[in-house]
Amino acid sequence: MNEERTSIHGQWSSKFAFILAATGCAVGLGNIWKFPYITGENGGGAFVIIYLICIVLMGLPVMIAEVLLGRRGKHSPINSMRYIAQEESASRWWQLIGWSGVVAGFIILSYYSVIAGWSLAYIPIMAEGTFNVVQSLSSPEAVKQFAQNNFATLISNPITLIGWHTAFMAVTIIMVSGGVKGGLERAVQFMMPALFVLLLVLLGYAISTGDYFIKGVEFLFRVDFEALFYPNCTPDSCEFSGRGVLVAMGQAFFTLSLGMGSIMVYGAYLSQKTSIAKTTAVVVAADTMIAILAGLIIFPIVFSNQLAPGAGPGLVFQTLPIAFGQMPWGTFFGTLFFILLAFAAWSSSISIAEPVVSWLVEATSLSRRVLCIFVGFLAWFIGLITVFSFNIWSEVKPLSNFTMFENSTLFDLLDFLTVNIMLPLGGLAMAIFVAWVMRSRSVTQELKTTESSVLYRLWLFALRFITPLGVGLVFLNAIGVFS
């Protein structure tokens, strides 16, 4: 039926190109910056298990659904949802999925760029060999102080942060302006493999820490539910908190780029010939592997330098530079690492901008380039909230009356709203639409399968029941129904 249709925005040149782009979209700060630090904050192993369960039972099925919607709609998420809803004689309101994605996209892009800017900032820090002095520092305490001070100096200076944030956003805009083939595809082709190889080198270093490597592995994989559910225990009080589970689920959506249209719009550029399920499984596996790899690298370094696993958003930037300072060729590897991390972030940030940009291209007569500049500027401006959250507004905590948000800065709140609320709800809406609203004939046609296939049934079951139940339970839990 729609064998011959292609998106007006272009198409990936091959199946491999799609896998690369979708992996580039999925693998980013979420894997290397966020996964280790939220794992550290939520006690380790138990959190990792919940995260992995969410990836398999919700992440993979929802990702298949999201790619499917994109490829069937062949437009920006807003218009794709509109066309498909029409085709399936469903309510027009389903396009709200696209709209919520636009809002979430602006917010996520805004802070993503600021954090990626930190990575840019560490490129010259490493290149100058700043961290080589840790070899001559006598005590672990001094090493730790040095790394912490270095990071604190960076984030306490709003002007520096704005500079790097601007640079990151500018390059994102240039890449998105290039369109599907010119910009997005070329950009990720060589950076992803290079990043992977460098992570393996770092893993080698982490293993060389011996006992500390074992400690790191234990932290990641020893399941201790008390650490997850009772995070703030003092000798005389222990309060149950379901927040860790909500964070794990949010992370599953964030790391796979689900729930806001990134994956949908990438699906729109996918050839009708490609198998959605297989390619998606590859992307999910690669993303999960990189996150675990990052954890295996970072926690041994945390323990061997007596840093705290729960150090928060600065964790990667305080641990890895120490490792680079200590290892042979550290200046070279350190510089390279932060360059590659920035590239991994770019191949993700372009996917955060693309849903909005593609919609504006469809809805206006302005050129893609002009629209990119507009989107970039707006997201840049919103990003200032995040910049200031780490310095001049670090004490601004608007929801401090609620225990759950006691210590949450504006950045924390934006992050929480988008990642833990909007993405899961977006993903849930997509799951319900595909599994309950769309005609099964349309769905099986898109997946090139039949209703009797076992895998198809398992997938449908996950979308129909597990995802709604999971998202529902986690929300009830988070608002304290079970405590």
Token readout for 13 is: 């040149």
**The tokens 């011996």 sit on which residue?**
210
Which residue spans within 137-286 are E strands per DSSP? none
Residue pair 420/250 in contact by the 8 Å Cβ criterion: yes
> Does 257 participate in binding ligand TRP (rule CB under 6 A)?
yes
* Residue of 84, 245, 248, 260 that binds ligand TRP (CB under 6 A): 260
Q: How far is the CB of 262 from ligand TRP (least distance, A)?
A: 4
Pick 150 or 288: Cβ nearer ligand TRP = 288
Q: Give the SS3 label for residue 81.
A: helix
Angular region, 224: left φ>0, alpha ψ -120 to 50, beta rest: beta
* Residue of 17, 25, 311, 315 that binds ligand TRP (CB under 6 A): 25
Pick 169 or 322: Cβ nearer ligand TRP = 169
* Residue of 19, 29, 220, 252 that binds ligand TRP (CB under 6 A): 29
Residues between 410 and 469 with contacts to ligand TRP, criterion CB under 6 A: 423
Q: By CB under 6 A, how many residues form the interface with ligand TRP?
A: 16
Q: How far is the CB of 326 from ligand TRP (least distance, A)?
A: 27
Distance CA 441, CA 372 (A): 37
Number of H helices, E strands in the chain: 25, 0
Q: Give the SS3 label for residue 237.
A: strand
**The tokens 């790097």 sit on which residue?**
164
Binding mask 93-132 for ligand TRP (x = CB under 6 A): ---------------x------------------------
Chain Cα centroid distance, residue 400 = 26
Helix axes 140-155, 96-127, angle to 10 degrees: 130
Q: What is the DSSP letter of 58?
A: I
Chain Cα centroid distance, residue 301 = 23
Binding mask 349-388 for ligand TRP (x = CB under 6 A): --xx------------------------------------
Q: How far is the CB of 156 from ligand TRP (least distance, A)?
A: 25
Distance CA 437, CA 84 (A): 10
Distance CA 471, CA 227 (A): 22
> Does 348 participate in binding ligand TRP (rule CB under 6 A)?
yes
Judged on CB neighbours under 10 Å (0-12, 13-18, 19+), 51 is: buried
Q: What is the DSSP letter of 459?
A: H
Distance CA 334, CA 236 (A): 44
Q: How far is the CB of 101 from ligand TRP (least distance, A)?
A: 8
> Does 45 participate in binding ligand TRP (rule CB under 6 A)?
no
> Does 26 participate in binding ligand TRP (rule CB under 6 A)?
yes
* Residue of 31, 209, 331, 467 that binds ligand TRP (CB under 6 A): 31
Q: Give the SS3 label for residue 236.
A: coil
* Residue of 12, 20, 24, 28 that binds ligand TRP (CB under 6 A): 28
Q: Nearest-CB residue to ligand TRP?
A: 30
Pick 108 or 434: Cβ nearer ligand TRP = 108
Of 4-12, 273-281, 344-352, 453-461, which part binds ligand TRP (CB under 6 A)?
344-352
Of 71-79, 226-234, 249-257, 371-379, which part binds ligand TRP (CB under 6 A)?
249-257
* Residue of 110, 177, 255, 408 that binds ligand TRP (CB under 6 A): 255
Pick 101 or 334: Cβ nearer ligand TRP = 101
Q: What is the DSSP letter of 134?
A: G
Write out the residues near ligand TRP by the rule CB under 6 A.
25-26, 28-31, 108, 254-255, 257, 260, 262, 348, 351-352, 423
